[in-house]
Amino acid sequence: MIKIQGLHPEYVTDEEGNRKSVILPISDFQELIEDIEDLAAIAERRDEPTVSHEEILNGLRNDGLI
């Protein structure tokens, strides 16, 4: 996960000095997009029931996968 303090954005400003856009290295931008996608997936699954680690292991054993 990218840390905000690690970003070094450059800003595009209008004639009055108001920030209008930001310029980031593409690698930072891609990492931010991945983080947003991960957070969206977590939010979508928030209400799903949980399964314990032991239940997962038992299922894998029953299926002969471990």
Q: Could you state, in order of their start, the residue ranges of all structural domains in the chain?
A: 4-62
Residue 2 confidence (pLDDT): 79
Residue 42 confidence (pLDDT): 96
- pLDDT digit string (tens) for 9-59? 999 999 999 999 999 999 999 999 999 999 999 999 999 999 999 999 999
SS3 20: strand
Q: How far, in Å, CA of 51 to CA of 26, rounded?
A: 37
**Measured between alpha carbons, how far is residue 30 from residues 23, 26, 40 in Å?**
13, 6, 15
SS3 2: coil
**Composition of the chain by helix, strand, coil, percent to 5:** 50, 15, 40
Residue 5 confidence (pLDDT): 82
